Amino acid sequence: MEHNLSYINVRNVEIFSGRKVDFQLSYQFFGKDYKSFPVVVINHSLTGNSNVTGKDGWWNNIVGDNKLIDTRKYAILSFNIPGNCFGNELNDFIDELILGDIAKVFNKAIQQLGISKVHTLIGGSIGGGLVWEMGVLEPDLFDNLVPIAADYKSSDWLIANTHLQSKLLENSSDPIFDARLHAMLTYRNPISLNNRFKNQYEGKVRKVKNWLDFHGETLKNRFNLDAYKTMNRFLSSIDVESYSNSSIDKLINKVNSNIYILSIDSDLLFTDNEQRNIYKKISLIKQNIYYFQIKSDHGHDAFFIEYDQINDFLKDCFL
């Protein structure tokens, strides 16, 4: 799939395994000229891509003219995570990578483009995990870090869910469909589904089953199996401490960026309790860190839904 993608080669990158490799990355710019205007970098979610705004843009309610991330004020950059099947990158070492490697090469690509300072780095879910990883690796590159519905380290609960996802992707006769059905039950929650479907039927079938089947079929039509396996593996490998071989306390001490943690009170995947604990821990070390709770019945996917709250929480960041 192509969407006016540009490509950049980042050579001789030492990945976590110790091997040095040459990356090819695809990316998109939106809004103003990045050489003359402040830059915002947006990391996409697990089945997402670099097309954040415009035709088929997945974050059009947040990014665009007169939106929170205003394309009249900012140059907006988004990379495709290698292996997400959106571009035609040539990287034959995908199976060796972990998310920290993606963070390292994204940072190098930003600097290779001639960008010495990024106004804001923002992302949700795995994209938020990348925010943590990128921000720690280059503590002076970003003015603002905004991880949404994400942790700096994969929890046991997250590992358990990605393990089940990997089993479905490896063993199911309809792997993308079946894995997506399970994933949707972690992206939403019981309150969301019960309030939406209210035990109703469409013909002889419960509406909730049709809704799940729709999401399974939709992903099958735009994603491929290798991409799903790759992104699921990356999701399970969020770990800024192991990648940097240091504790979060020591790492955060070096980070000059403002950090805006956006949590979702009903999130089953990256729980609000964990987000609050992260904030409490880091706020003992760092003053310019802020915690906001998105209130929603929609669970993890609320960062695709609760746009008014996100706008309100981040308006000072994007003045």
pLDDT tier at 3, thresholds 50, 70, 90: low
Q: Are residues 120 and 257 in the same domain?
A: yes
Q: Is residue 223 part of a domain?
A: yes
Total number of domains in the chain: 2
| pLDDT bucket at 319, cuts 50 / 70 / 90 | confident
CATH number assigned to the domain comprising residue 249: 3.40.50.1820
Q: Are strands 69-70 and 6-14 parallel, antiparallel or unpaired?
A: unpaired
Q: Would you state the pLDDT for residue 1?
A: 43
- Give the span between the Cα atoms of 263 and 274, in whole angstroms: 9
Residue ending a domain, choose from 206, 233, 260: 233
| Same-domain pairing of 28 and 123 | yes
> Is 1 part of any domain?
no
Write out pLDDT tens, residues 79-138: 999 999 998 898 999 999 999 999 999 999 999 999 999 999 999 999 999 999 999 999
pLDDT digits (tens, 9 = 90+) for 57-95: 999 999 999 999 999 999 999 999 999 999 889 899 999
307 and 221 housed in the same domain: no
Q: Give strand pairing partners of 261.
A: 291
- Tokens in use for 315? 């308006």
Cβ atoms of 52 and 63 closer than 8 Å? yes
- What pLDDT digit, counting tens, does each position of 132-174 carry? 999 999 999 999 999 999 999 999 999 999 999 999 999 999 9
The verdict on 15 and 82 lying in the same domain is yes
Out of 211, 233, 255, pick the residue that ends a domain: 233
Mean pLDDT taken over the chain: 96
For the record, the structure tokens of 215 come out as 């999401």
Classify residue 219: in a domain, yes or no: yes
DSSP state of 153: B
| Same structural domain, 290 and 150 | yes
180 in helix, strand or coil?
helix
Tell me what pLDDT residue 132 has: 98
CA 238 to chain CA centroid, Å, is 11
One domain, residues 163 and 220? yes
Q: Are residues 190 and 136 in the same domain?
A: no
User: Could you tell me the two tokens for 279?
Assistant: 């904030």
Domain that holds residue 203: 156-233
Q: What CATH number did the domain enclosing 198 receive? A: 1.10.1740.110
